[in-house]
């Protein structure tokens, strides 16, 4: 497990919970954001001394019962609770992100078969590993080897991407949820962004975890000279849970569908 990853996560989540959210009184003399350690321990039904050991990394193997108590005390949803269990008890077979250039040609052929759909494959660190023709024309990250965050933090994305803040927050929480804390590629990416992007550093410190498999997004498409709103769906690539296939599409018969179709001509 990465250095005190569990303790860092517990501390960040503790600071994010308001006392009134868990039925505790709010007093004007509080000197900490969120909950005190003693309050988390009380809500999780463990001793304050044991909780302190968990935060300080002096105990890194809490039982399932303790993890369930902590998840309840911190108000974690299923995805966040599963993430906490994974960093407390990492699987014996680690799953580091495959790197660009590692995919078989059949993956590219498969993506090219998606008619009127902009589709691409990313790894857990959101590096682009495969992309079809439409996706390469819709998205500025549409080249193999690019990374989603380099695009998100570009001047063009800040200027042209509606709800930029939401995209960044969702991307960072997905990065934490999908990646292995010990992955060297994750350390390289996060280490660089912590130095160069203050907004990344602020959100990464929150330890948010989100699982979102579908939605609607709007992006500026230079090839069309217009904003294009598309539905999107993501799913794990069969045979490799570390890869995610993302497909962007439009409802048949809509102007968006016609615009997307024209990009493949």
Dump pLDDT digits (tens) for 3-38.
789 999 999 999 999 888 888 887 767 777 799 999
- CB atoms under 10 Å from CB of 5, counted, come to 19
Give me 220's structure tokens: 């500026």
**Alpha carbon distance 148, 189 (integer Å):** 11
**Alpha carbon distance 143, 123 (integer Å):** 14
Which residue would you say has higher pLDDT here, 60 or 80?
80
5-88: in CATH 3.90.550.10: no
- Cβ contact 155:129 at 8 Å: no
Domains 5-88 and 105-262 fall in the same CATH topology: no
**Alpha carbon distance 112, 131 (integer Å):** 8
pLDDT-derived band at 1, boundaries 50, 70, 90: very low
Mean pLDDT of 219-241: 85
Beta strands in 58-151 (DSSP E): 118-123, 128-131
Q: Is the dihedral of CA 180, 182, 183, 189 positive or negative?
A: positive
Indicate the CATH number for domain 105-262.
Answer: 3.30.450.180
Dump pLDDT digits (tens) for 113-167.
888 899 999 999 999 999 998 999 888 887 889 999 998 999 888 887 888 999 8
pTM, two decimals, is 0.83
Beta strands in 111-239 (DSSP E): 118-123, 128-131, 214-221, 226-237
Name the DSSP class of 97: P
Domain segments of the chain: what residues? 5-88, 105-262
């Amino acid at each position: 497990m990465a250095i005190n990853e569990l303790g860092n996560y517990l501390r960040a989540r503790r600071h994010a919970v308001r006392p009134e959210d868990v039925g505790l009184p709010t007093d004007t003399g509080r000197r900490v954001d969120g909950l005190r350690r003693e309050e988390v321990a009380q809500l999780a039904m463990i001793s304050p001394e044991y909780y302190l050991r968990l935060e300080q990394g002096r105990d890194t193997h809490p039982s399932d019962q303790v993890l369930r108590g902590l998840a309840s005390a911190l108000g974690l949803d299923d995805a966040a609770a599963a993430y906490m269990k994974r960093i407390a008890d990492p699987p014996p077979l680690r799953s580091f992100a495959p790197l660009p250039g590692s995919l078989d040609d059949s993956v590219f052929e498969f993506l090219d078969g998606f008619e009127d759909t902009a589709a691409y494959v990313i790894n857990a660190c959101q590096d682009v590993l495969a992309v079809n023709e439409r996706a390469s024309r819709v998205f500025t990250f549409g080249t193999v080897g690019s990374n989603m965050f380099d695009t998100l933090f570009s001047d063009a994305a800040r200027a042209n991407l509606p709800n930029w803040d939401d995209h960044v927050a969702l991307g960072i929480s997905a990065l934490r949820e999908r990646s292995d804390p010990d992955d060297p590629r994750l350390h390289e990416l996060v280490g660089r962004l912590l130095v160069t992007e203050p907004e990344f550093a602020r959100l990464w410190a929150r330890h948010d975890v989100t699982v979102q498999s579908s939605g609607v997004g709007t992006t500026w498409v230079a090839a069309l000279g217009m904003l294009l709103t598309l539905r999107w769906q993501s799913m794990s690539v069969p045979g490799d849970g570390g890869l995610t296939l993302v497909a962007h599409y439009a409802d048949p018969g809509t102007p968006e569908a016609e615009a997307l179709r024209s990009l493949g001509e």
